[in-house]
Amino acid sequence: MYLLGILMGIMATLCAQSPFDSVPPPETQLFELPYFSIGSAWHFDLGKGNYLELELSDNGQLPRFLNLDSLLLVFIDDMKPFRDSLANPVSGKRIDYLVDTAGRKLVRIHETAPRAATFLLGDDQPSLLRTRMDTVYIFLLAPPLSRTSYLPVRYNRLTIVINRYDRLEELVASGMNNKIKEVDPAAGHRYKADFNGAGHLAIDPSVSIKKEGLYERGHSRDFAESWFTIGAQNYRNMFAPTSAFGLDLVFHHHYDIHTVTLSYGGFVLFGTDAQAHRRTYVNDYISLGYSFDRLDRATLKPVGLFTNFSFGWFVHREGDFLPNNSFLFTFCSLKLMNGRFNLEPGAMFDGGKGSPFIRLSYRFL
């Protein structure tokens, strides 16, 4: 227990607030894509640091963007009342433009002034240097997948990153409609794979498939990880230090996480032998377990208790504490401090008798 106290002090920083510890404010949620909502996405390199990204809930939404020039002209016209507030040539601007379920247009403008002025020295006089790019997000509502879908509201998103917002009209005149048509699946254009498997158009390397992590609808983070734990539990009325190591197979799909665990562990009991000498007795087991976590849609944090269970068989016994054919069962543990500490109830069945226990362990990844 003294060792666990030291470990708790070491891991105190884990209690610090993370970006997902609290629910984002309503205005932030309004102008963000729902997690796992994008089916297809492309990146368009426009040169000089400018680029455009198109993220669609599904390929059936692409016709809404084939006339991209007209969509941008409507946006520019709607933003004319804010022309004066966007006139600062140095500040970085982020503009969110959303059409909601009622057909209303909502706009959020976030302007960031540079902390220091940067100049480019020339022959005549210094020129003020702009160090921030401007970003425009345009959200268009998409129909839900179904009435029972995990995504009741979906949006398509067009992202424009440009050196200066007042150059947006020049972008409209550059013929973006033709680039959008290139990614139409009906065109049958071939993609060439690149180093990360995303691929770019064979006829236009400036157009590539975009992989978008949390927003990708096919988002899957299946992986395997090993771990080691130390801890303590009780066996009947005795104190028993424990340790275990194992392998987790994690299947993460959208908001659901399924984990299959194979582990080898044991606990130590203290007693006396026939000569009244103090001895330690090690009892080892192999365990197979399953767990399920559901993540909160707003914070991506687990909801409620850690729903899990495991079943273990003893493969090594010392002393007279455990009879033959003993096994153990655990269920519904409580994870603390981002999963580093695990409080786990269970029971050992030895000779047909059940002995409940509770185990506190610290996990090393």
Q: What is the CATH number of the domain that holds 330?
A: 2.40.160
Same-domain pairing of 293 and 170: no
Average pLDDT, the chain: 82
* 203 HSE (CA, 13 A, CB side): 9
| Residue 246 resides in a domain | yes
Same-domain pairing of 107 and 11: no
Q: Which residue has the tokens 């729903």?
A: 307
pLDDT band for 229, please (50, 70, 90 cuts): very high
Identify the pLDDT of residue 265.
Answer: 95
Other C-beta atoms lying within 10 Å of the C-beta of residue 3: 12
Same-domain pairing of 208 and 226: no
Same-domain pairing of 195 and 320: no
| Residue 283 resides in a domain | yes
Q: What is the dihedral of CA 172, 74, 131, 20, to 10 degrees?
A: -130
| Residue 25 resides in a domain | no
Q: What is the mean pLDDT of residues 283-305?
A: 81
Same-domain pairing of 75 and 207: yes
| Residue 22 resides in a domain | no
Same-domain pairing of 224 and 351: yes
Contact 263, 244 (CB under 8 A): yes
| Residue 240 resides in a domain | yes
Same-domain pairing of 8 and 129: no
Boundary of a domain, candidates 199, 215, 231: 215
Look at 154-158, 206-210, 234-238, 293-297 and tell me which has the smallest mean pLDDT: 293-297
Residue from 349, 269, 280 nearest 313 by CA = 349
Same-domain pairing of 243 and 359: yes
Boundary of a domain, candidates 192, 215, 238: 215
Q: Which domain holds residue 140?
A: 36-215
| Residue 29 resides in a domain | no
User: What would the pLDDT profile of 7-60 be if each residue is shown by its tens digit?
Assistant: 455 444 333 333 444 455 555 667 888 887 888 899 999 988 899 999 998 888
| Residue 330 resides in a domain | yes
Boundary of a domain, candidates 215, 238, 272: 215
| Residue 299 resides in a domain | yes
Same-domain pairing of 174 and 247: no
pTM value?
0.64
Residue with the larger pLDDT of the pair 307 and 310 = 310
* Domain tally, the chain: 2
Contact 337, 14 (CB under 8 A): yes
pLDDT band for 1, please (50, 70, 90 cuts): low
Same-domain pairing of 255 and 204: no
Same-domain pairing of 200 and 224: no
HEC string for the chain: CHHHHHHHHHHHHHHCCCCCCCCCCHHHHHCCCCCCCECEEEEEEEECCEEEEEEECCHHHHHHHCCHHHHHHHHHHHCHHHCHHHCCCCCEEEEEEEECCCCCEEEEEEEECCCCCCEECCCCCCEECCCCCEEEEEEEEECCCCCCCCCCCEEEEEEEEECCHHHHHHHHCCCHHHHHHHCCHHHCCCEECCCCCCCEECCCCCEEECCCHHHECCCECCEEEEEEEEEEEEECCEEEEEEEEEEEEEEEECCEEEEEEEEEEEEEEEEECCCCCEEEEEEEEEEEEEEEEEECCCCCCECCCEEEEEEEEEEECCCCCCCCCCEEEEEEEEEECCCCEEEEEEEEEECCEEEEEEEEEEEEC
Q: Would you say residue 304 has pLDDT above 90?
A: no
Same-domain pairing of 122 and 237: no
